[in-house]
A and B are shown apart, each in its own frame.
Chain A
Amino acid sequence: MSFVDFIGEPPTTTVTINGHAIIVSRARFGLHLQLARLNEHIANAVQTRNRQMVAALISEYLLMCGVQPDDIENGCGDEVIFAWLQIKNLNTLREKPAILRQNEPHTENNTAEKPPYEYDGRYWAWIISTLASSYGWSETDILNLSPEAAIYYLQEALIIDYRNIEIRRQLSKIAYQYDEHSKTFTYHPLPKPGWMSDTTQATKKVRVRKSLLPVGTITKLDGSEVEYVQ
């Protein structure tokens, strides 16, 4: 996908609950963060087998995406979960920018004892504050970006910062070390952060042989159904 696909009107998906077709738009950055947090809570509730909590959180997720309470209440259970999966799929990042391949890149050592100014969600506050200080945008502007655009703008801001530091470093003696053998000064570039030199390739999709698929109707997350016969 191109960056151009991440700017402009957000894509939508149509979910059907209780016989009603509901059009849901892809979450912008602010809502994306809130929904991601809610998904963490859902995963925790599934892990602790807290049934009521899972159902309540899925309902909350759908409400935040604009689904009406009546539809959630009167819809079939699997229909409601399926709608949640469809919207969750719509809101999944289409691409994972290099900076996200590292966990919390603003912290030097994730295993180290946390400093007193650390707090829950600081990573996201750091992203918003970096974007605000780099481009002069307001919090509202930033939270209205598409999630991918926000992360790519952040990545660009950090690349510009890196290049500026690199240029300043080239003018300083610190960047040049004297080599006894060649009797010359050798330039030592500024070490790049991990995400700038990470060349990890995305995982390839594995194709499953048709003979290994179950027979009957398979419902896909885009709402389509495929009939498999042996």
Chain B
Amino acid sequence: MFNKNSVIIGGKRVTVKKLTLDDAVQIALLAAPVLPYIENHKHEFSEALIGQHNPDVLSALFKALSEEMLRHIGVLSHIVAIMVGVDPQEFAAKVTTDEFIDMLPVLNRVHNIPRLYVSVMGLLQTIQEQQIGDSGDA
């Protein structure tokens, strides 16, 4: 029996690690430039994270992947590598597209993705709040 909190990278099973505060901050800083892309495809991402096998949704996701993800693949792969808890360079070199898609529901089960999303957005929002001079924010 394998650990259900594990994913396959390059044919090998790896157990997903817990996110540290440092990891979560690193994800937020990495995510900043790709947030508009994630926002544009949040339907596809959220359905992929739930692991729904709706062919229309998956084809929309793949379409989105093929069109835009190539530009952001480095950053997204880096973020997913941190979420798994492996070296990002090694991850990018070994992971296949199928493995990448299959690991999303596992990551959603191990981590609390909606909470991580809110945390990332909230942390990045602090810059905007400072820029508009919201002095009431403590």
Contacts and interface: CB of A to CB of B under 8 A. Distances in A.
A25 to B, nearest CB: 13
Interface residues of A, number: 47
Contacts of A225: 114
Contacts of A47: 127, 130
Q: How large is the interface on B (under 10, 10 to 19, 20 to 34, 35 or more residues)?
A: 35 or more
Given A51-B22, A88-B137, A221 B118 contact: yes
A83 to B, nearest CB: 9
12 contacts: A33-B138, A52-B22, A54-B29, A76-B111, A77-B25, A81-B122, A82-B122, A92-B137, A96-B136, A100-B136, A147-B138, A214-B43
Interface residues of B: mostly helix, strand, loop or mixed? helix
A145 interface: no
A92 B119 contact: no
B21 A215 contact: no
A121 B67 CA distance: 49
Given A32-B138, A80-B24, A216 B29 contact: no
A175 B129 CA distance: 43
8 shortest A-B CB distances, which residue pairs? A77-B24, A93-B136, A81-B119, A214-B42, A43-B130, A78-B116, A77-B19, A36-B138
A46 interface: yes
B81 to A, nearest CB: 15
